[in-house]
Structure 1
Amino acid sequence: MNNPILDVHEKPRFGQMLTLSLQHLFAMFGATILVPYLVDLSPAIALISSGLGTLAFLAITKWQVPAYLGSSFAFITPIIGAKVMGGPGGAMIGSFMAGLVYGIVALIIKKAGHRWIMNLLPPIVVGPVIMVIGLSLAGTAVGMAMNTLQDINNYSMLHFSAALVTLISTIIFSIYARGVLSIIPILAGIIIGYVYSLAVGLVDFSKVVEANLFVMPDFIIPFVDYKIKITLDLVLLMVPVAVVTISEHIGHQLVLSKVVGRDYIKQPGLHRSILGDGTATMISALIGGPPKTTYGENIGVLAITKVYSVYVIAGAAVAAIIFGFSGTITALIGSIPPAVMGGVSILLFGIIASSGLRMLVDNNIDFGNNRNLIISSVILVVGIGGAFIKITSGFEIQGMALAAILGVLLNLILPGREPVKEDMFEASSDKQSA
């Protein structure tokens, strides 16, 4: 936090910037491509949209906030549901609407200040909802790890072995690695799992060999690839998730402020950073990418390297865009066996759930207090159990969205609510996860 090697507006030499930017790219790479992999969207477009979204974020925050934006894990389940309702177009419409919520919240914060949103989303609400995000995806991770690609109900010890190699490698890198490897344990674990899968014959490398170095990705464009149709079901499925991701954003801004030594909540202002995050999500939705969020992995890179230059972040964004147009890289990502992604997902989804628990612990939430016990219990069971409210065939609130709404309402209604401290989200900001 003190004596930065490169401060926010210091520009590194070209060779130095290239190396530092690639380091940020690798830090976010594993998690950013995992999200589209799980929801059947294009990893190439996820990379391109993360680069474009990051550049938009930097511009909106007046080039003062060195944050990188990658794919959001919070939207995995809602995107899958939205695709069932309206195909890829439905998922993009829902993502765009979630981005609009960011814009509305940013406008309110600009006019009314930021304290109200921090009181609306205290740790007792956000912590359990974050736990729901991770635990509700547990079945997906285990299914990918244990079964064959052709039949998700067909147990395969060979596939499971690849998942275990990936999982164990990622754990080892997370705990024991030093230097650059300590920053990219997810990517390193995927590489080890991929090499093992290649050795045991689980990888089809033919498409990588046949792929062209540069190709045009299959963008999903509104009015061209799908018609705009907004339904109440879609709104209720996607929009409430913004409650969770906005709270994550606030937490990242608080930690980033401490790392860099600036108060980003006040300057350039929380309203600008939230608007930047929402704009990145809307840009992503317009080209067929998943929603975006600031990444804790890249904040970790800043803390370790003490290089806070926005030029380095911008360089990583440009590199991500270039990678997205590479057919070879896209084919290489596509050749990763589901078991490998399942192995790393076991750890990632568990970390997401644990970060919600950590928020509760670090904020000294007293579960001897029935109020706290009731709020967290309702959120966890409703969210993980997949409860839903169905009034008509076109009106349904389900899963995580219902859990988040009930949590907010219970927090507002039940007596004994305490004022929230501004540093409440720090505990959950070490990990995105995203």
Structure 2
Amino acid sequence: MIFDRLRKLDVVFDSPELDSPPVFSSGDVVSGKVVVELAGAARVESLKLHAEGFAKVHWTESRSAGSSTAYTQNFSDEVEYLNRREVLLQADNGEHTTLSAGRHEFPFSFQLPEETLVTSFEGKHGSIRYWVKVKLHRPWFTVKKLKKEFTVIEPIDINTPSLLAPQAGTKEKMARIWYRNFGQVSITAKIDRKGYTPGEVIPVFAEFDNSTSRSVVPKAYITQTQTFIARGTMKQKKSVVATICGDVVGARRRETWHGRAIKIPPVGPSILQCRIIKVEYVLRVCVDVPGTSKLSLELPLVMGTIPLHPFGSRTSSVSSQYSLNLDWLRMAIPEQPEPPPDYSSVVSAEEAAQNASTSSPEEDLSGILGRPLMAYVQEFRLRPPPVYSEVDPNPQPCSIRPRCMTC
């Protein structure tokens, strides 16, 4: 009777933190070791390592072919991103190698492709996975296999002009029930940029104009859409990840959000580069109108992995291409206050005439106002201090003599 002397076969990845699993991206070097523990001396033919990465989708649909017949159709597809093989142990003569009892470690190292990979993902109808598979061949024993997955996250830097651009939109509809019109409802919504990272707060600037005869309820929520594509057919799964609800807007009234906050929960990054799997996010601002379909406005979002840098540390290329649009801040600024009354309306006619006769001639300020205000601020800030002198710059006249205290 032959006893199996193999106690342990394991794959250990090199990680800077022992408690957390390693995370890689395109171009990184994946390294680690294969651990083999034997209870006694054993012969080994070979130890091979195979690194793989695939995006796969699969689902089934039942279709009716008549009153009593039905058939099931399968949809599946896959895309390969990684395929690397490496031999860790193999005898020169092709027969076997004898390993002594105890622990044996076989290091491995390989580089991920430089071209863009796709972030690891687990969905309802598909997944994107990366793993290392180890095969231990021994005489008189079946092949011992071990598979261990690792995570790949492709960085998405939101500090780019396209993701720093504000997003805005307007939408309106006529509220109808059967053949009766109740009036028009409109939404205008804006957010300061397109790219965000999980944990950030999105300030929503919106205006809801309810011209109907019924009350409406404004809402905003973030939705995640998972899209799976196979054989020209698309399958989607949508879910709400965050939501906020505003106050009821009465009939023929208007409501304004001056940066209503909605926080992004811990969600996965956007996946936009895969041919068969996509993960997209949208900020949906809507109005629920009783008795009819809701009015909804969508603003696209991109969930990144590199958060927003402080303004002073951004690169010049990004800061030069991104400019602030003053129209974007219009909704955040409250309505202008009422202008002050005229001077003539608060003083008597005699006082106004007297002040007008004693006032100095009006100076020409056109040249001064033509310069930007910041130029005067810089001029004042950079002006050097006065030169120190022992001589009094404002001496007293000689005619003034000090008073004698003895008089």
TM-score range with shorter-chain normalisation? under 0.3
Pick 1 or 2: higher relative contact order, CA cutoff 8 A, min separation 6: 1
Which one has the bigger helix percentage? 1
- The TM-score, its normalising length taken from structure 2, stands at 0.20
- The TM-score, its normalising length taken from structure 1, stands at 0.19
Greater Rg by CA? 2
